[in-house]
């Protein structure tokens, strides 16, 4: 692959051969467009984090195998060795760092709020006090919304699409999710019946990174070395730029 140095490739290949299996099982979700999703034409996993994991696997001279998993089940799958790494739109939070190790950050962004397409409100969080809002189970946004303590209910959903459906139908006032993912889905699917809240201030900005089991420090070192090479060469920016990130 372009931009790879022979010295680094050789060193990583040696480490991989000594410390890890030939297969490189990557946990992803199908609802994380444009980070991780299934191409409807090929029916194969694709997205920025899929391409990144494939490039890392090539550096390690391993064969990437993508395991489609619900977002909330990704960390449990990693802890039980069902997968080797998580490569999704997952923030490297302090809480998650207690149970898994994260790579060097590869992308940063905040949350977005969305409402029904015919809702003209320019909401901030405080404006939604007393309302029912929704977020995806297992996300940092769900935890942050619940910690606010200002909503009548924070409903938890398995997927972003389910949240958008309930917002459109008026079952909940607003939904929250990863801004790049929400923006991409709305742009690609006008029929969803929801829109981003203009001027909304995110609860925070997080760093996306790959997650590795705490008992595999050698693999984490190899992943970080590959990321560093891609950052230096510009390939990392190319991968994310391909998906409008």
**Whole-number pLDDT of residue 20:** 41
Q: Spelled out in words, what is the top-level CATH class assigned to the domain 110-205?
A: alpha beta
Tally the C-alpha atoms within 13 A of residue 185's C-alpha that lie toward its C-beta. Answer: 27
Question: Is-same-fold flag (6-106+209-241; 110-205)?
Answer: yes
**Whole-number pLDDT of residue 1:** 47
The conformation of residue 47, written as its DSSP 8-state character, comes to: S
- Contact call for residues 151 and 131 (beta carbons, < 8 A): yes
Question: Is domain 6-106+209-241 given the CATH code 3.40.1500.10 in the classification?
Answer: no
**Whole-number pLDDT of residue 23:** 86
Q: Assess whether the previous peptide bond of 142 is cis (omega < 30° from 0).
A: no
Instruction: Give residue limits of the domains in the chain.
Output: 6-106+209-241, 110-205
Per-residue pLDDT of the chain (245 residues; tens, 9 = 90+): 444 443 344 444 444 344 444 689 999 998 888 999 999 899 999 999 999 999 999 999 999 999 999 999 999 999 999 999 999 989 999 999 999 999 999 999 999 999 999 999 999 999 999 999 999 998 889 999 999 999 999 999 999 999 999 999 999 999 999 898 898 889 888 899 999 999 999 998 999 999 999 999 999 999 999 999 999 999 999 999 998 88
What length does the chain have? 245
Q: How far apart are CA 230 and CA 227, in angstroms?
A: 5
The conformation of residue 192, written as its DSSP 8-state character, comes to: G
Handedness of CA 82, 25, 109, 33 (dihedral sign): negative
């Amino acid at each position: 692959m372009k931009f790879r140095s022979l010295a680094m490739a050789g060193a990583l290949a040696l480490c991989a051969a000594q410390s890890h299996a030939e297969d490189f099982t990557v946990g992803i979700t199908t609802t994380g467009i444009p980070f991780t999703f299934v191409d409807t034409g090929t029916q194969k996993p694709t997205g920025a984090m899929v391409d990144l994991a494939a490039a890392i696997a090539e550096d390690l001279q391993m064969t990437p195998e993508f395991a489609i998993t619900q977002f909330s089940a990704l960390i449990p799958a990693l802890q039980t060795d069902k997968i080797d790494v998580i490569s999704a739109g997952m923030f490297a939070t302090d809480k998650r760092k207690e149970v898994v190790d994260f790579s060097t950050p590869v992308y940063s962004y905040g949350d977005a709020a969305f409402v029904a397409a015919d809702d003209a409100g320019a909401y901030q969080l405080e404006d939604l006090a007393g309302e029912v809002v929704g977020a995806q189970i297992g996300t940092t946004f769900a935890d942050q919304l619940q910690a606010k303590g200002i909503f009548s209910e924070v409903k938890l959903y398995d997927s972003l699409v389910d949240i958008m459906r309930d917002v459109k139908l008026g079952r909940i006032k607003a939904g929250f999710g990863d801004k790049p993912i929400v923006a991409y889905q709305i742009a690609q699917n006008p029929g969803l019946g929801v829109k981003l809240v203009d001027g909304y201030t995110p609860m925070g900005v997080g760093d996306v990174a790959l997650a590795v089991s705490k008992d595999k420090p050698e693999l984490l070192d190899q992943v970080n070395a590959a990321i560093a090479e891609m950052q230096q060469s510009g390939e990392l920016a190319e991968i994310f730029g391909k998906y409008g990130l």
